[in-house]
Every structure is written in structure tokens, then in C-alpha cells.
Amino acid sequence: MTIEFKDDTLHCAGVLAVEDAEGLLALVAGHPAAPVDLSACEHMHTACLQVLMAGTASISAWPAAPELGEWLRAALPQH
């Protein structure tokens, strides 16, 4: 997994595991207005999904995998 803040955007790539939820929470809390780019995300544990659901960040790019993208679009509010 890779979660990084660059170019005023949170970029999530690869597999976001339960162990990544705390780091994701810290980045979301530290940059609450930053959009989230999930285009390179391959899988997301529900703990990470809950972090994004509780936040106010908008999703700037959805995962390329159709099933994951559909699942996340249904779960995440559009700000």
C-alpha cells in the first residue's frame, strides 16, 4: 500500500489493509479539504473505507477496477 500527500491530493495505491487505517486517518485529519485519488487503489479494507466515510474529503479519481469503483461509489458520499 502507498498513501501519500502530494500536489495537494491524498493518493492511495495498491492494497489498503487494516494496518493502513491509522495512517490514512492521520492524513485525512491533517488535510481535511484535500481530494482523494483512488485511481491506483486495488483493494480497500473496510477500516480504511470507514475513515473515508467519516471524513469530508471528496474523491477526485475512482479505482480503475470496476467492481471496487462501484462498491466505493455506493459507500462514499459525494461532497
CB atoms within 10 A of CB 77: 10
Q: Are strands 36-44 and 9-16 parallel, antiparallel or unpaired?
A: parallel
Q: For residue 66, is pLDDT > 60?
A: yes
Tell me the pLDDT tens digit for each residue of 35-65: 999 999 999 999 999 999 998 889 999 999 9
Burial 17-36 (b: 16+ CB within 10 A, else e): eeebbeebbebbeebeebeb
Task: Note the pTM of the prediction, 2 decimals.
Answer: 0.91
Mean pLDDT, range 18-27, rounded to an integer: 96
Question: What is residue 5's predicted lDDT score, i.e. its pLDDT?
Answer: 94
The structural domains of the chain, with segments of one domain joined by +, span 2-57
Could you give phi then psi for residue 14, rounded to 5 degrees?
75, -145
Q: Which residue has the higher pLDDT, 31 or 55?
A: 31
Reported as half-sphere exposure (CB side, CA atoms, 13 A), residue 75 has a value of 19
Q: What is the predicted pLDDT for the residue at 79?
A: 56
Given CATH 3.30.750.24, say whether it is the number of domain 2-57. Answer: yes
